[in-house]
Structure 1
């Protein structure tokens, strides 16, 4: 598994990924290879813990106990934006959020439509997560 974090600039879009400043995202190997060495990114290869594979005495149930924790992490890391925060953002920042929420910025005509889309999609995700 690979991760990349934008450390300079506000947004960066590459190979279907939109990065926001200081946001760590999981990426594929080819994206890692492309971004590794770019001064705007901090790229890392996250290796699986070696200790689990060395110890055969551990019951097989432990890895399954860890799986729900992994599923919860992305939900906690997702920022909920307020209308006033969104109004203070520029078009590029708003479009990056629209893409992260599964939308198509080209379908939204102006700032008010982008903001409405983001707020509505966040509300839908909150209801689905409960």
Structure 2
């Protein structure tokens, strides 16, 4: 299990989560990996106690609810801030540091959304 707390700023939205200042929130591993090292967050991996009955059950990571992937338009992407675009890139399996500017980020998102639609048909 992973938790994070917003320690700078008032709010922060990323990967479908909205974080409020000084509010500890349970997050998924992929969100933890994205936010860990970000100076605005205090991220922790919480180990379950040994006597916790939940630890006796096999861990099934694939039981996370499947969210309907949102398809963004070019206009919506241009209206987003850089961190929002990067969150979408991570959701699509990309690596945000690979992109030098907004145009490259938007092109990647639009292209990958189109590929996912074709694969889902």
Normalised by the size of structure 1, how large is the TM-score? 0.49
Q: Distance in 1 between matches of 2:71 and 2:12?
A: 18
Selected match of 1:115 from 93, 96, 106: 106
Q: What's the CA shift for 1:75?
A: 5.5
Selected match of 1:124 from 89, 108, 115: 115
* Residue number in structure 1 paired with 2:7: none
Runs of 4+ off more than 4 Å: none
Selected match of 1:74 from 40, 57, 66: 66
* Residue number in structure 2 paired with 1:105: 96
Gaps of 5+ in 1: 13-18, 37-46, 48-69
Q: What's the CA shift for 1:106?
A: 0.9
Q: Distance in 2 between matches of 1:121 and 1:103?
A: 9
Gaps of 5+ in 2: 4-9, 19-25, 33-42, 47-53, 55-62
With over 3 angstroms needed to count, the CA separation of the structure-2 counterparts of 1:79 and 1:3, relative to structure 1, is: farther
Structure of higher CA gyration radius: 1
* Residue number in structure 2 paired with 1:10: 12
